[in-house]
Every structure is written in structure tokens, then in C-alpha cells.
Amino acid sequence: MIENHSAANSAPMRQSMPTPAAAIEAIPASQRVTRLLGERLELVEDLWETVLRSECPPEQAERLLRLKQLSDPDEADVTGAIVQLIREMDLAEAIAAARAFSLYFQLVNILEQHIEEDTYLDSLKNQENGPSDPFLPALANQTDPATFRQLFARLRSLNVPPAQLEKLLRTLDLRLVFTAHPTEIVRHTVRHKQRRVATLIQKLEQGSGLNCLERQGLRLQLEEEIRLWWRTDELHQFKPTVLDEVDYALHYFQQVLFDAMPQLRDRIRAALKLSYPDVEPPRDSFCTFGSWVGSDRDGNPSVTPDITWRTACYQRQLMLERYLKAVNELSDQLSISMQWSQVSPALLESLEMDRLRFPEIYEERAARYRLEPYRLKLSYTMERLRLTHQRNQQLADAGWESPCDGSAPPPPMGGSMAPAPTQELHYSTVDEFRYDLELIQDSLERTGLSCESLQHLISQAQIFAFCLASLDIRQESTRHSDALDELSRYLQLAVPYGEMDEAQRVEWLLSEIQTRRPLLPPTAKWSAATAETFAVFRMLQRLQQEFGSRICRTYVISMSHTVSDLLEVLLLAKEAGLVDPLAQRAGLLVVPLFETVEDLQRAPAVMGTLFRHPFYLALLGSDGGQPLQEVMLGYSDSNKDSGFLSSNWEIHKAQIALQRLAIEHGVALRIFHGRGGSVGRGGGPAYQAILAQPSGTLSGRIKITEQGEVLASKYSLPELALYNLETVTTAVLQNSLVSSPVDETPSWNELMGRLAARSRDHYRALVHDNPDLVAFFQQVTPIEEISKLQISSRPARRKSGAKDLSSLRAIPWVFGWTQSRFLLPSWFGVGAALQEELDQDPGQLELLRLLYQRWPFFRMLISKVEMTLSKVDLDLAHHYVQALGRSENREAFEAIFQSIAAEFGLTRDLVLAITGHSRLLDGDPALQLSVDLRNRTIIPLGFLQVALLRRLRDQNRQPPMSETSASSSDDGRTYSRSELLRGALLTINGIAAGMRNTG
């Protein structure tokens, strides 16, 4: 039987939670989201119960349903009853329970995504031309996301000049970067099944016109799909490769974003016409995408130059296949005959040029399309796309070190005429493809016609080009300095690079960058790490030569500390031909990533030194005539280093200082926000986070990471994707147009400085200064088991074998605390800092309440803490401590837990005092209902996880399939280590689905 320990003294810690029905009654009817969740939850729970009864033995199904029933707060002695029920389970039943609750949460996730989508669609249908409520909050203080139509109407009512808006729209530049940090642990296979289930649920919910038989048929299909899902393994059978991760991330482009982006363009244009009819809309590519998947090599030895090259080829392949399909559909649509419509001379002239280039296509199609010029033109276009696709495949197979002219020419399409070389016929750039499409569009418009499908295709070509998403290279700073040190020793410099001080390094680097003399001996032999560092830059040069600069123009330097960190990359780029010192041009944008608190504080000084060098300024790319500098700010490591409050304040201050510096030197600044999915890594609602950015620091430009774990919740459904993209855009416009002078209030900044310093001291006292914290984290969270989940090509630690916190990546750090329900990185230290301020002056509470009402930055901080606190379950966390902590650590671990519990109570009480809420999340009833539902239902999974982890960790060796008597249960059953690990990993899967934002 599965062993467990009761959680002593736990009942008082858990807050009582209303049942769904009671919660819904307590919320005003106007809250449509809460009503929909209550209504549709009945369907999901009914489906879940039906599947369990059909797939599990009757006794097992009853126990699983009883386990869920026990999570109802109306049940007496919840903890004891759950523990007793889990004790009665054998391993097979425990695994079934973990799978059942994981399935439940994933069904609820699908339900909530559809509700979000439906709510957004309703807002589009019901919105009026302008705001009718005269008491709406000022735009700078608005917290509810706005649509394009609502925002432009409000800007009009505020008399924002059309010229001001048009100037901003002209330079609007939003970049969303998908990252390879997959704490999203759902298999691709399961994701496809979820999509089918989601589609059927949507049909059933929206099918008001369905008759009884049709509804019954849909219901049976749903049960069938979920049963197939139940019999599918949730866990990856192998560790995913980098290219598996590439395929996973690109899934959202293929399924949703490719078709959604033209609709985003249409919506912003339509909204402008209503309020600002004379304002020119932004260019189609005002919102573009980047990716770290296949190019982020920081701590991931699996990301080689060959992998990045193959990633670029794969992305181009996907785009070419979509373009081929779209052009083929256009050919069916544009059946216009010259007998009934004029054709522009430019199009006719291009057809004559195409006839000479593609005589075999002319011979084959001319008779059929003799009077249908658009179809004939599209036939040539399809052939050029086919040849481009063929060349791309040849380059993917040959690798990045293949000759620049490609491989052998393609075989003839037919006929006896030998084809011209492939490179003369394929599309060498997306501009050539767009030119052909725009010729057709221009000809149609000259004759009074338009074609929406053609316009959408032109927009897609502008947004995605042939590369789909720009690849950002990322590497840790010491890799470059180590490579240059090895080079300097080979060249026998008087002072090796590794022994130079910072001033010497900067002087040497600048002198070498500005000369064309090669520095790298072509025949020298290097260590493996240095050889790969040099190879990355040669591969980059080859990528840009083949794909154009758009495929990969950004090089992010993680752990940037000094000026030399940036100059090192420029020197290596120069050696690869990516920097021309005489022309003072660079094909690479070097982006420092400032991560720790110390680095954030140093960032203005580092960038100021660089901006004072005219040569460096000349190498920056241009944005509207100004040099453009991109700077990345890291939320994850600064949070791990100093806690939530300190991290956010230092990032806020760094943005203001960097923007002032950029203005002083005439530089356009683009801030790249390295936000994670969880609050502890900068996550949270994007709209509020963007509005909370310091006033004047955006200017219509922003770059944001989209972590692997949030992709499904943001981009799995078309309208959900459009909602996310629209709200991000409106937030950037709103922040850029509506200034908020409160960021400059001296007394408020002084207060935040005190709070940040106190919070950091309290956080570091526990996390970095307590000698027992590392052991506590390793024992009472499933961190070691998380590292065994086959969810990422990337190691959990930066250095293999190291067990200290400095080597642990921020993602598993947050993931571990979330699984055990502490969620410590997202709130610890906040309460102590606030209390110290109030101890000095109790009257400061009124000021804190004022800041919450008036200052978007402070409101965002408190709101994130409030949301995170609502997900904490200290009695369950205490059970992890008691059951998983070793006996020799019991006293030390209990002291750590009591410290955490005291800080939790203090933080919760002060957050409630500042917000004026009587209960956490009272200001967001829909979120409160969702969190309550998840908090309740996730409890059995936590107890299951502890039971399985305890048994698993009791085995001190790698066991055979049958365990010795020492690991046998009271009923004589024996379990293998692999079986126990599988059960534990399934609980991690289920809790991740239930918590949603995991790492």
C-alpha cells in the first residue's frame, strides 16, 4: 500500500472556500466569466466522471470520485480522510488517481480558454463607438484590457491629436519571442487530442440550433476522444531534442498565428476608421515574432551551429509550404478572364519575362490559361516557390558549411528543354515574392477589384517573410572571454586577455574591432568550447548570406557585467565578416542581458560608456534615423537573487535610467523584457504589466519573451491569440501616449527604495544565508524528480554535479516551490518590508493605499503578490516538510517552515489592508472562482505526490524490477523504482496542469 503521514496541525491554516454554486451566487450576474465557468463546469465534471466509470474498475472509480469529493470544504476532517484513502491505494491505483486529476485540470484549462475566447468575442460585439460611462478611470489607471475600438474611442474623447497617434503608429514595433524553456510538459500527441476535445466542447456549447440527436452525437464523440486521451501516455518516452522543441513551438504558428495575424491588421484598421479616419494605420508587420528555440545556447550543449542552421531551414520550409497552399487557393479564386476585365501593363510585362524564364511552365499552362492572366502568373509564382522549397531542402541536408551556391540544379518539370540553374529561378528574398503578389493586387485595384485572400497573403509575407520568426542567439558572457583568452595565448600577447583588467580589455578590443586585419589564424587548433564559439559566428554569417539579416540579427549576452562583454561579441562578429570596420556597419545587434540586481544597477554606467564611443554608436542599427540599442532585462535571476519586490524595483529603476541615457545620446532604446510564465519570473497579465512600465520608456517599442509554459494558454485558439495580441498592442499604445507623472514622485520612489532594500535583506536571510535552505529545498520539493521529467533538452543546472543554488536555473527553482505549494519566490520578503515601514510610521498605510490606487507599478506589484498568495496552501506545504524532510533535519526544517508561515500571514494581512479586500482576489471574482476551484481539487494530488516521493526516496539504490523486502509494502506488493518514479512524475504533471503557471 502507498505510505503516507498525516499533516499535523494543518486544518487551521487552510481558508474555507465556497462551493462553486455558492461562489457564483455571491458574484454579481454582470460577471459573465464566473457564470460561464459555473455553467460549463458541470459538463466537464460529468464527462470526467463518465470516463472514469467506463475506464476504471468500479471500486477504483468510486474511490477516485470519493477522493475528489473529499476536497470539498464542507467535508469534515479533509486531511485525515484523504490520507486514509491514499493509504488504501496500491501503486496502480495511485497512478490512476494522478492521471485522473491531471485529466480533470486539463479539461478545466480547455474550458477556461474557451470562456476567455467567448468573452473577448462578446466584447467585440457589444462595444459601442465610444465610452458612455463618464466615470471610467483615467487611461493611466485602467486595469481592464481594452480593445482597439475602445482605446481609439477614448483617445478621441481625450482629444489626443491625430498627428500624435499617427506618428506613434508609424514606428509601432512589437516583438514577441517564443523561448525554449518548456515547463509546459504536455506531449505533442496529447496536445492534438486536447485540440480535438476543445473543438467538440465548443461545438456543443455553441450549438443552440442543434437537435437532440446532434447534441447526443457530439456528447458521444467527446466521451470517445477523452477515453482515447485517457489511454495515451502523458509522459514523454524520451528526452526531447532541440528540434522536437522547435516543432512544438512552431505548432502555434502553423495552427493559429499564420491566419490570425492578418485579422489583427484588419481589426486595428477598422477601429481607426471609426475614431481616426484620416490616420494612416501601422505597417502590416508592426507585430512580429522571434524565437530562442534552436538558437538559445546558454547552458544548453545540445544547441550547436548545425541545430541552429537546421532550425532556420525548418522554419523556412514551413513558411514556403503555407505560401504554396495559399497561392494554390488564390489560383482557384482569381479566375478573371481578359475578355471581361482589363489587366495592368506591368502584369503583362512580367508574364512575358516569366515566359522566358519558365518556358516549360508556359508550354504546359498557356493553352489552359491563355485568357486568365492571374492564374498564369500564379502558376509561375508557385514554380518559383517550389524551387525555393527545393533549394531549402538541399541546404538543410548539406548543412551550414555547404557551398554558398547551393547544390545541383533541380530536375526538369517536363519537356526536353534543360532548366536554368536553380539559383537563377528561385526566390532569393521574400521581397521578390511580395513583388509578384503586389503586381497582381495593383492590377486588380486598377480595375476596381479587391481580393481579401490576396491582401492577407501579402500581410503574411510582410510579417513572417520566409523565415517565420527571427532567431535570437543567446550565449553566456564567459564563453566569449574564455575564447579570446585562448586566442590571445596562441598569439602570445604580452598580457593574455584573461589577465587584463577591464580598461586594458576595452582598449584592446576597440583597437582590434576597428582594423580589418584578421585576428584568427585559419589553421589553428582550438579547444572544443572555443572552436564552437568561433563556429557560431561563422554560421551566423552564412545564415544571413542565405536567408537575409532578418533571420538572425540579435545576439543576446546573458550574465552581462561590463563594457568588454559587448565588445567581445563585436570582435568575434568582425572576424566572421559580420562587422565592417571601414564602413562602420554591423550585421549583428549585440544585446546585453542584465540579470542580477548588481548588474541592473550597473547597466546605465555600462551603456553610458559604450554610447560615448562614436565607433560603437555608428555600429548600431538605425530606427527612424536614430541609432537603435536593444537592452534585455532579466526577471528570473534577479528574483532568485534578491526576491520579488527588490527585483521588480531594480528593473523599474534601470528602465528609467537607461531611457534617460538613451535620450541624452540620441539613441532609440528598445527594452527586451525576459518575463517568465510565473510571477516569480516576471509573469502575470501582460496588459497590466505593460501599463506598469515607467512612463516614457516604451515609445511604441517593446520586446517580450513568451515562455513555453504559457504558449498553450495564449495561442492555442484563434480568438484567444487575437485577444492576447490586441491587448498587448493597446497596452503599448496606451503607455506610450498617456503619460503618468507618478513615476517621478520623489517620496514614492524613496519609499519603494526602502521597501526593496528591506525585502531583499529578508529574502536573502532565508534563501542565501540560512545554511539549511538548500537541503530544505532539495528534500521538501520534488526538485530532483523534476530534473528527471523528459520535458527539456536543457539541463536543470548550469553546471553538472553542482548542488548549490547558484548553479540551479530559475525555472526549476520556481517549479519546485510551486509543486509543493509554497510559491515562495513570488512573495517572500514583501510582508516583512511593509511591516517595517509601518512600524516606523503607522500612518504610511494610507500612503500605501494611495499608491495602490494611483501608481500602476505599485498596483501591479501588489496584484501579483495577491494572486500568488491565493494559490499558497501552507498546510499542504507543511505536509511536504513533515513527510519528506529527513529526521536529522526536522528541527531546522520546522524553523524554516515557521519562518515562511509567519511571513505568509504577515504578507496576506498587509496586502488585504492595502487593497481593502476582505478576502484575496475579491477584486477579480472570475479569477477568485478559478483559483478556489483549483486549490480545492489539487489537494489530493499533493498528498499523492508526497506518498510516492517518500517511497521513491527510501530506495537508496537502483533496484531491479522486483524490490527486496525492505521496500515491500504491508500487503506484500513490491514496486520497481521506475514504477514509483513514473507515479511521482505523473503527479508533477497533474499539479503543473492545475497550477497553470508553474515555472
Coil vs helix vs strand at 475:
strand
pLDDT attached to residue 130: 45
DSSP-assigned beta bridge partners for residue 291: 178, 471
pLDDT attached to residue 997: 61
Cα 22 vs. chain centroid, distance in angstroms?
35
- From 285, 247, 304, select the one nearest 473 (Cα to Cα): 304
DSSP 552: S
Cα 593 vs. chain centroid, distance in angstroms?
17
- From 51, 96, 37, select the one nearest 219 (Cα to Cα): 51
C-alpha count within 13 angstroms, C-beta hemisphere, residue 372: 16
pLDDT attached to residue 867: 94
DSSP 633-653: EESHHHHHHH-HHHHHHHHHH
Residue 290's CB: how many other CB atoms inside 10 A? 23
Active site residues: 181, 640
DSSP 472-517: EEEEEHHHHHHHHHHHHHHTT-SS-GGG--HHHHHHHHHHHHT--S
Phi, psi of 177 (to 5 degrees): -115, 115
DSSP 255: I
C-alpha count within 13 angstroms, C-beta hemisphere, residue 648: 31
CB distance 826 to 864 below 8 Å: yes
pLDDT attached to residue 633: 95
What cell numbers appear for 779 in the block? Answer: 528534500
Distance (Å, whole) CA 877 – CA 893:
12
State how far the alpha carbon of 406 is from the alpha carbons of 386, 399, 402, 703, in Å.
Answer: 15, 10, 7, 34
Residue recorded with cell 519566490: 825
CB distance 939 to 67 below 8 Å: no
DSSP 72: S
Which parts of the chain have pLDDT scores under 50?
A: 1, 3-30, 129-132, 134-135, 182-184, 406-423, 801-802, 957-972, 999
pLDDT attached to residue 513: 97
State the DSSP H helix or E strand holding residue 183, giving kind and residue range, or none if neither: none
Q: For 499-554, where are the alpha helices, taking DSSP H only?
A: 502-513, 528-547
Distance (Å, whole) CA 239 – CA 947:
26
CB distance 946 to 4 below 8 Å: yes
- From 342, 322, 300, 185, select the one nearest 250 (Cα to Cα): 322
Distance (Å, whole) CA 293 – CA 180:
5
Q: For 296-429, where are the alpha helices, taking DSSP H only?
A: 305-333, 345-357, 359-365, 373-398, 422-425
CB distance 318 to 253 below 8 Å: yes
DSSP-assigned beta bridge partners for residue 175: 288, 703
What cell numbers appear for 3 in the block? Answer: 505510505
CB distance 945 to 988 below 8 Å: yes
Coil vs helix vs strand at 631:
strand
Strands 579-580, 585-586: parallel, antiparallel or unpaired by DSSP? antiparallel
Residue 183 sits at the vertex; the CA angle it makes with 182 and 189, to the nearest 5 degrees, is 70
End-to-end CA distance of the chain: 32
CB distance 760 to 646 below 8 Å: yes
State how far the alpha carbon of 114 is from the alpha carbons of 45, 121, 122, 145, 734, in Å.
Answer: 16, 10, 12, 18, 27
Amino acid at 108: V
Cα 918 vs. chain centroid, distance in angstroms?
33
What cell numbers appear for 279 in the block? Answer: 490616420
What pTM value is reported for the model?
A: 0.89
DSSP 467: T
**pLDDT tens-digit series, residues 135-193:** 455 665 666 788 999 999 999 998 999 999 999 999 999 999 998 754 445 677 887 88
> In sequence order, which residues have a C-beta less than 8 Å from that of residue 748 and are 6 or more positions away?
742, 851, 855, 858
Amino acid at 464: F
Amino acid at 985: L
Distance (Å, whole) CA 106 – CA 568:
46
CB distance 94 to 948 below 8 Å: yes
DSSP-assigned beta bridge partners for residue 629: 669
pLDDT attached to residue 192: 82
